[in-house]
Amino acid sequence: MELGFLEIILIMIVGLVVIGPERMPEVARSIIYWWGRMKRMVTDTRAELEKEIGADDIRRQLKNEAIMKQLGESKEAIEAALNETTDNIQRFKHIGEQKPRQMASPDDEEIIRQKKIALKEAAEAAEAAEDKTDQEQSPETQTPELDDSDPSKTAKHKPDESDT
Quick check: 155 pLDDT over 50?
no
- Which burial class, exposed, middle or buried, applies to 122 when counting CB atoms under 10 A from its CB (0-12, 13-18, 19+)? buried
Structural contact between residues 134 and 141, judged by C-beta atoms closer than 8 angstroms = no
Structural contact between residues 122 and 77, judged by C-beta atoms closer than 8 angstroms = yes
Question: Bigger pLDDT: 151 or 87?
Answer: 87
Arithmetic mean of pLDDT over the chain: 78
C-alpha 164/C-alpha 157 separation (Å) is: 13
Name the pLDDT band for 150 (thresholds 50, 70, 90): low
φ, ψ of residue 157 in degrees (nearest 5)? -90, 120
Structural contact between residues 67 and 137, judged by C-beta atoms closer than 8 angstroms = no
Quick check: 94 pLDDT over 90?
no
Quick check: 75 pLDDT over 60?
yes
Q: What is the four-CA torsion angle of 29, 32, 33, 39, rounded to 10 degrees?
A: 180
What local confidence, expressed as pLDDT, does residue 35 receive?
A: 92
What local confidence, expressed as pLDDT, does residue 131 receive?
A: 77
What local confidence, expressed as pLDDT, does residue 137 receive?
A: 63
Short-list 91, 159, 86, CA closest to 127? 159
Question: Bigger pLDDT: 131 or 15?
Answer: 15
Domain ranges of the chain: 14-53, 55-98+117-126
Distances (CA, A) of 47 to 39, 42, 152: 12, 9, 47
C-alpha 74/C-alpha 125 separation (Å) is: 7
Q: What is the DSSP letter of 163?
A: G
SS3 content of the chain, % helix, strand, coil (to 5): 75, 0, 25
Name the pLDDT band for 101 (thresholds 50, 70, 90): very low
Specify the range with the lowest mean pLDDT, choosing from 31-35, 70-74, 152-156.
152-156
Q: Which residues of 88-97 are buried (b: 16+ CB within 10 A; e: fewer)?
A: eeeeeeeeee
* pTM as predicted: 0.31
